[in-house]
Amino acid sequence: MTAYIEDAKDRLIVWNGNADKRGAIEPAFYQSIMDAVEGAKERRVRSVIITSQGGFFCAGGDLNALRERRSLPEVERQGKIELLHDVIRAIRSCPVPVIAAVKGGAAGAGASIALACDFIVMEAGAKFTAAYVKAGLVPDGGLTASLARMIPRPLAMEMCVLARPVTAERMQALGAVNAVVDVDQVMAEAHVFADAVAAGPREAQARIRMMVAAGYEQTEVAQLDLERDAMAHAAGGDEAAEGIAAFLEKRKPEYGT
């Protein structure tokens, strides 16, 4: 089994089970991520965790497959890349927070998937690698967009143009990784984040995800309008009624599922 979904409490866990190939990308992994996002839309799931069964999160694409695709018309090669981009879009549009639990490291498309998530927990010493240039290729999967949002340009250039790995510790120092822990604590720490998400208001969290994403793309004037409309809507909702009451009554809010 190269990928599967575990239904755990109030969260779905996507396991990349392709351990023999360091978690190399396979269609089953893509499909499991897509299925988990759809599951989050259909049910009252509070978060999705993406991780690996082996010691490496995801080693990215298969160069043998890329070599075989060289003979395809460019439009067909674009179609193959769109399969990855559909996964990135699904993660970005997921109605609940997505957590990456990264053991060993994440390379190529694996780095794209991890960096598309809302929270990132990494094993100490694990690395992000974007070595496309070594094979005469360029990043895909939204990697350059994620890096531009998360780290300074000189480091993004070092990572993509010089193909130098960047450690979890360096990424955390820049605020691009939430937690760096020992390997045996990676999943436990991911669940800490999932528990914190589950204690909050689901609809407000979904709107905040959308607002933060929009903040990278549009003008401040447009963002102010978005915040006005979202706040006005939230203030009239049941989650705000419970949250405000709990604050004034000095108790923990109970948002339910």
- Rounded to 5°, the CA angle 43-44-49 comes to 90
Torsion of CA 10, 11, 17, 19, to 10 degrees: -110
257 within some domain: no
pLDDT digits (tens, 9 = 90+) for 41-53: 888 899 999 999 9
CB 161 within 8 A of CB 146: no
212 within some domain: yes
CATH number at residue 101: 3.90.226.10
User: pLDDT category, 95, cuts 50, 70, 90?
Assistant: very high
The answer on 232 and 131 residing in a single domain is: no
The answer on 236 and 125 residing in a single domain is: no
Number of structural domains found in the chain = 2
The answer on 213 and 178 residing in a single domain is: no
d(CA 103, CA 56): 5
The answer on 133 and 43 residing in a single domain is: yes
The answer on 211 and 128 residing in a single domain is: no
Q: How far apart are the first and last CA of the chain?
A: 31
Task: Classify residue 4 as exposed, middle or buried by CB count within 10 Å of its CB (0-12, 13-18, 19+).
Answer: middle
The answer on 128 and 29 residing in a single domain is: yes
pTM of the model: 0.94
254 within some domain: no
Range of the domain at 36: 3-198
The answer on 193 and 206 residing in a single domain is: no
109 within some domain: yes
88 within some domain: yes
Helix (H) or strand (E) holding 119: strand 119-123
The answer on 216 and 143 residing in a single domain is: no
The answer on 79 and 134 residing in a single domain is: yes
Task: Classify residue 123 as exposed, middle or buried by CB count within 10 Å of its CB (0-12, 13-18, 19+).
Answer: buried
Q: Could you give the percent of the chain with pLDDT greater than 70?
A: 99
The answer on 144 and 244 residing in a single domain is: no
pLDDT digits (tens, 9 = 90+) for 117-175: 999 999 999 999 999 999 999 999 999 999 999 999 999 999 999 999 999 999 999 99
pLDDT digits (tens, 9 = 90+) for 179-224: 999 999 999 999 999 999 999 999 999 999 999 999 999 999 999 9
